[in-house]
Structure formats: C-alpha cells, structure tokens
Structure 1
Amino acid sequence: MRRPAFLMIALLPVALLAACAEMRQPPEFARIPPGLGVASADPVPAMIAEAAAAFSDGGASLNGRPAEAARAIGQMELVAEAFRRNPRWAPVSAATVTELRTARTEWRQAIGIPETAAPETVAVALGQASLALRENDTQRAAAALAPAAFMPGGAPAIARLAAPGPLPQARIASALARDEVARMARMQLGGVTGALDPDAPFLNSLTGAQIPGTMR
C-alpha cells in the first residue's frame, strides 16, 4: 500500500534534520581518549607530530618514561586506525598504511598487546595509564592495563612500558605519517586543509577534555 503524499511530505523535514545532524557530528577521532589529547581543533595531525617526535630516536628516549611511552603508543594506535577507516585519510599512501601496520605489530609485541585487541580499547587503556603514571599512581595505571587487552597486564605491562626496547619501525612509520600529512596539506588533498570540523573544540593536551571557553 502506497503512503499518502502528505505523509511523505511531513516526514521530509525529519529526514533532512537527521541528515544535517549526522553531517555536523565531529570527526570520529576528534573525540580523543583522556591522556592522549592534543591542544588542537584537528587532533589527528597534531598527535602524529607529537608521536613522531617521541619515536624519533627509535624509542630510546622513552626508556624509563612509561607515561610518555603509553601516550605515544596510544596516539599511534588511533592514528593507524584513523588512516585505515576514515575516508578523510584516503589519500594517504598505501606504503604509509603498510608501515603503520608493521609498526603496530612491533609496539604491540614490545608491551604485550594481542594483535586481536581493538585499537580503541587499547588507546583508551593507554591514555588512562599515561594519566595515572604522570600522577605516580601505579595502582590505577595497573588497573587500566587489564589482561583483556594487555598480556599479562597490570604491573608487568607498566614494566614493559618503562623499557619498551628499540622501536625502529615505530620511528619509520610515525615519520612517514607526519610527512604524508604535510604532503596532503601542501597539495590540498582530502581532509587536512579542506575537512576541518568548524565546530570541533580545542582539547586539553593531557586530558583530552574541551578547553573552557572554546565553542562547538
């Protein structure tokens, strides 16, 4: 049975409002987990730059700094997933995506994250652990690094973050990702210059919370 024309007309504004609401949603990875945020309305490029700096010596400077290691690895977990899933980053080269996949295997093996662990789950846990470790709260950090995503989890996971060992692939992949974002900006490709969300808030560089006074 066909719907009356007046009913279809009545439903049209509802559909348009729903479409507009969906278009105005902030980018998927603009909602950065606490502990991984960067003070930027467009956090993914900023996270890439910060993580590339952290890995610039192949992870050597992260030894003895588990909070910083958790933050850098958590950021790159999000970046790797953003490049894989978000259409905004479709112009990123296949070589960069491949290097990130290899690097993820490297850092996951270094700190005991199963390959099957969901990136979002890993990133949230690492962000929480980073915040706790900055406050010298090892008990809370150990609780964040639960065995569900870290093997064996807890205190041993903190010890691995404190001594992640050489991470040469993380250095290569994060530098490639940084350079790829810069290339996209120069060439005005895709999301970097043309897809900034005008309503996204600026984020606190540590907690990921919206900075007071900024507007959505």
Structure 2
Amino acid sequence: MRLFSASPLALAGALSLALSLGACATLPATRNTPFLPAGVFGTYQDNDIGAINQSAWAFASPANTRGNPIEAARAIIALEYLSGELPENPRWVGMGSTIKFRINEARGDLRHIVGIRPDAPPQLVVNALLALAWDLQFGNQTAALQALASPVFTQPPRVTLQALSNLPYVQTANLATVRAAEVEFPGGGVRG
C-alpha cells in the first residue's frame, strides 16, 4: 500500500519552498558576523530585518537615541552584525556591494565616535553592548559600567556611556542603513 504519492511538480514546489525558507535564515556566527540571540530587535523579526529596521530608525535622527543609550547600543549592535551578515549571507546577494561597503564604513565611524577599538572582534563588541543594554534595562548601573570596562572600549566607562547617550548625526550610518532598508522594502522604507 502506498501512503504518499506526489507529482514531480509538487515535489519541485516543496523543494523550492524549503530552499526559499532556508535562504531567509540567519547563518551561523563567523569571524566577521557575530552571533545574536533571537529577539534582539523584536519578537517577530529575524535578526537581519530587525538590524536593518533598528539601524535605519536610530540613525535617521540623533533625537531617536538621545538620552537612550539602550537604543544607541542596539543600533551599534545592528551595524556590527550587518557588516558581516550582508556580505556573507546569500540572502543578500541582490544588495549592491556599495551598500555593504557603506555599512562597514558606518560601523567604523560609530566605533570611532563611541570609543570602540577599530580592531575589536565584532563578537566582543556585541557581547559588551548586549550586556550594557540588559543591565541598563534592569537598572543595574554598576554592572552596566562594568560592561563598558571591557578592553574593546578605548574610553573610561562613564565617557563611553555619555557618548552612547548623545550620539551625533552620522551621515554615513544614516545613508547606508536607509539604502539597506530601501533594498529590503522597495518603495516603502522601514517596516516593523
């Protein structure tokens, strides 16, 4: 007795669907792409889309992160992540190399502004900023300052926290992240 019978067309459709869904998945962490836990940018967004949304919103205007180092840290985490994810994940093969270059350039600019070593491994930067955001969210100022005492930072913790609380307008970050959002959401800008 035969329990399953499928036409070659149905099998091809199922295979196409499986490959399409797999192409949307985040790749494992690499030297250039840090691991991010699920939900860093929201419950219903994968990390790629969440990082694009977060960074495009945060860098559109300094007012979006002013006085909110948690959101500033999340935006920098997004740049750290996108700098590796966009060039390495086949999902983004259609995104122009200029956008990927500009995202990496924006990451360097933000590292300079905040006081993150230019040669710091992205995973260490992300780990420190995730710890900072977590500690600030739960009101643990002492632990937050300890997170900023990581060797990836070049300034004293209070100076770094002040930089995160008052990010200036960074044109490279604004333009690069808006372009990435336009590729992901043609004609519609950032969507949540």
TM-score by length of 2: 0.73
Equivalent residue for 2:55, pick from 51, 58, 62: 51
Q: Structure 1, residues 115-156: CA drift from partner, whole Å, max 9, x if none?
A: 111112111211111121122222111111234211124222
**Structure 1: distance between partners of 2:26 and 2:88:** 15
Q: Give CA deviations for 1:79-111 in whole Å, capped at 9, x if unaligned.
A: 121013223322220110111122111111110
1: CA distance between counterparts of 2:172 and 2:131? Answer: 25
Q: 1:66 to 1:26 in 2, by over 3 A?
A: closer
Unpaired segments ≥5 residues, structure 1: 1-22, 184-216
Is 2:36 the partner of 1:32?
yes
Cα drift, residue 26 of structure 1:
6.3
User: Pairwise CA RMSD of aligned residues?
Assistant: 2.4
Separation in structure 2 between the aligned mates of residue 125 and residue 89 of structure 1, nearest angstrom: 27
- Aligned-residue sequence identity (percent) comes to 26
Give how far 1:34 is off. 7.4
Contact persistence 1:65–1:162 (CA under 8 A): yes
Task: Pick the aligned partner of 2:160 from 157, 162, 167.
Answer: 157
**CA distance in 1: counterparts of 2:183 and 2:111, whole angstroms:** 23
Cα shift at 1:33: 3.7
Correspondence 1:177 to 2:183 = no
For CA contacts below 8 A with separation 6 or more, give which structure has more relative contact order: 1
Amino acid of the structure 1 residue aligned with 2:64: S
The residue that corresponds to 2:94 in the other structure is 91
Say how many residue pairs are matched: 159
CA contact 2:54–2:74 (8 Å) conserved in 1: no
Describe the SS at the equivalent of 2:119.
Answer: coil
> What amino acid does structure 2 have at the position aligned with 1:148?
P
Match of 1:131 in 2: 134
8 Å Cα contact 2:38/2:46 also seen in 1: no
The answer as to 2:70 corresponding to 1:67 is yes
| Separation in 1, partners of 2:130, 2:76 | 9
The CA distance in 1 between the partners of 2:28 and 2:155, in whole Å, is 30
Corresponding residue number in structure 2 for 1:80:
83
Q: Distance in 1 between matches of 2:103 and 2:45?
A: 24
What SS class does the counterpart of residue 106 from structure 1 fall into? helix
- Equivalent residue of 2:185, what SS? helix
Q: 1:87 to 1:34 in 2, by over 3 A?
A: closer
The alpha-carbon deviation at position 65 of structure 1 amounts to 1.1
Q: Which segments of 5 or more consecutive residues in structure 2 lack a partner in the other structure?
A: 1-21, 187-192
Equivalent in the alignment of 1:118: 121
CA distance 1:154–1:134, change in 2 (3 Å): same
Could you tell me the TM-score, scaled by structure 1's length?
A: 0.65
How far apart, in 2, do the equivalents of 1:75 and 1:126 lie? 11
Separation in structure 1 between the aligned mates of residue 90 and residue 125 of structure 2, nearest angstrom: 22
